[in-house]
Chains A and B, each alone.
Chain A
Amino acid sequence: MPVPVLLSSIPFSPEQVQALQGVEVILAPDRAAFTAALPRADFAVGRVTAADLGSASRLRWLQVPFTGVESVPLKDLAARGVVVTNIHEQADSMADHAMMLILALARGLLDCVRSQGAAEWRQPRVGEVAGLTLLAAGFGAVGRATAARARACGMSVIALRRSEPAPDPLADEVVGPADLLRVLPRVYAVANSLPLTPATRGMFDSRAFAALPAGALYVNVGRGPTADEDALAASLASGHLGGAGLDVFAVEPLPSDHPLWRAPRTLITPHLGGHQRDRGGRVHAIVAENLRRYTRGQPLRNLVDAEAGY
């Protein structure tokens, strides 16, 4: 029986390749090489789009090396019997990023960096987050890791999740999407880590921003289109929102004429949430684990639900 082929867009080291036993590993240095080798691949670590479906004829398992899978044709792959898994190992760095944005906005770091650059001494008005409430919008791996960090800073946590709200040790309260407008008036900071699905698109609209108390913070490390960016920019310009920390946008890179570039009290980071030390090593660990499980016929970790879309 021929040895199955594992195609990877992640540049694993020779030692990491050797640790993937029972497969022939092909490393694709770029997108073109990945597409060219895809017809030979039984397993793939990378992004497979609708355009690639025709050449993915042997594919049985796709390991997406990141979290958001809205660009992956999940239902077509499911119909062909391809199992899709993604990566939640970026949850820690995304939660670090979300807390960094919240603390930086709460403690005026934007002003400090600008003052330092101008060699000026100005003290912004700042505070601690203890005793305030975080809304973890999306309570998957990222939302939960963010909640753990926020709690260590003394915050209360309201978790918003799609599935049946059930008590959770990391949240003081768990609510569903229908409760959003009801809980927002109690929220100091929103940490949005929602996946992009038809149900979450545009969830943070002008009504949602208006329902937050004046001075509240909005942070997004999930997907840009879960918020109405025009409504967000308008709320910042009006002085209602106290600040925004944005790592994701409806269009990336953020177009140079986009109003969010010039929105007041806004921190923009260029989709860095998943960036972490030794990413290759962390992706390798989950690939190796899932390969072992696949070979033994065990259920894979981080299975993506094609119906739900995440």
Chain B
Amino acid sequence: MPVLLCSEPFTADQVSVLRAAGNVEVRMATDSGEFLAGLPQADLVVGRMQKPHFAAASRMKWLQIPHAGVDKFPLGDLRSRGVTLTNIRGIQAPAVADHTMMLLLGLVRGLPDCVRAQDRGEWARPARVGDLTGARALVAGFGAVGHAVAKRLAAFDVHVVAMRRRPAPDPLADRVIGPDELMSVLPTVDIVVSCLPNTAATAGMLGAGPLDAMKDGAIFLNMSRAEIWDEDAVVAALKSGKLGGAAADSFHSYPLPAGHPFYTAPRFLITPHNASAQRNRLEQVHALVASNLRCYLKGDVAGMRGLIDLEAGY
């Protein structure tokens, strides 16, 4: 009977649901030591993995991670070992998309200025207050998060151009382009939202050159990893007025170091890597794990949610 090792703090009832999923022995690891010690016997793994974990998980055939990013994983090695890898991007998408809309609306309507005026007890209107109706946005990266962002943008009457590796018409976008059209589309949009995964192909994809191609006054939101853009170029573009506003939730190191120019850049919003924070996270992760486990035990790998293409890296 395959062994499933799980380090997520599921309740007893939630564990029973996993045990009832089929022919599987479920072992719960209550701390990182137990998790590491149990990995050599585990065929199936649910948990957060770092370098020593991968070395210990010699029998592992399926890995379910309780977060999105796989850019630090030994993907080539997992591929040659025939490991199936799944993440939780689907269940995080609504939270990330809500976060994106909050940051976008906050920048367009001057909310940071309002908060600062409120803290001074002052009734002071921001210099510029806009709205989203009729604006044009590029959603770079059109997976689960990009789709959830595009759906919201459309309800705010924003025209959406989506960019993905393999462009195909989509009801949630007015137009879908490939990366080859990026530079020609950037000057035509008011808003750029990056929902790109961090892979060898996407690192720096929205760096200094593409930033320079954006419309003056554009708003640039990075919901991806910090590797996607050029932090120094973004700060310079905010200071020069080239960018109308920008926001980020991901940085090169956590917490963002004191003295980092992001803390003081004008018209810039930072949130502490909580774009994917959700209500009832454990319940949502559990439902996904249970569903993926049932699929895996039936041999229905294609039916699993959050399946990572180990070659493409996302």
Chain A contacts to B: CB under 8 angstroms: 92-93, 96-97, 99-100, 103-104, 106-110, 112-117, 119, 121-130, 148-149, 151-154, 252-254, 256, 261, 267-270, 272, 275-277
Contact = CB atoms under 8 A, between A and B. Distances in A.
12 contacts: A99-B156, A103-B99, A109-B103, A116-B270, A119-B264, A129-B98, A151-B155, A153-B94, A253-B123, A272-B110, A276-B129, A276-B130
Contacts of A272: 109-110, 114, 125-126, 129
On chain B, which size bracket covers the interface? 35 or more
A113 B271 CA distance: 8
Nearest to A102: B102
A272 B12 CA distance: 50
A96 B99 contact: no
A269 B256 CA distance: 29
A276 B269 contact: no
B270 to A, nearest CB: 5
A107 B99 contact: yes
A109 B114 contact: no
B272 A97 contact: no
A100 B108 CA distance: 10
Contact of A154 (B94, B111, B115): B94
A114 B115 contact: yes
A97 B258 CA distance: 32
Given A107-B98, A130-B94, A277-B130, A117 B105 contact: no
A124 B274 contact: yes
Contacts of B272: 112, 115, 121-123
B3 interface: no
A261 B121 contact: yes
Contacts of A277: 130-131
Interface string B109-137: 11110111111010111100111110000
Given A96-B132, A269-B114, 16 more contacts: A92-B132, A93-B131, A96-B131, A113-B115, A114-B115, A114-B119, A117-B116, A119-B258, A119-B259, A119-B264, A123-B274, A256-B121, A261-B121, A269-B109, A270-B125, A277-B130
A253 B124 CA distance: 9
Interface string B264-277: 10000111111001
A44 to B, nearest CB: 26
Contacts, number: 152
B95 interface: yes
B278 interface: yes
A112 B94 contact: no
B11 to A, nearest CB: 19
Given A96-B105, A128-B98, A270-B124, A153 B152 contact: yes
A6 B209 CA distance: 51
Given A113-B269, A152-B155, A267 B115 contact: yes
Contacts of A103: 98-99, 101-102, 105
A261 B278 CA distance: 29
B157 A128 contact: no
A113 B111 contact: yes
Contacts of A92: 131-133, 156-157
A125 B279 CA distance: 9
A136 to B, nearest CB: 14
A113 B156 contact: no
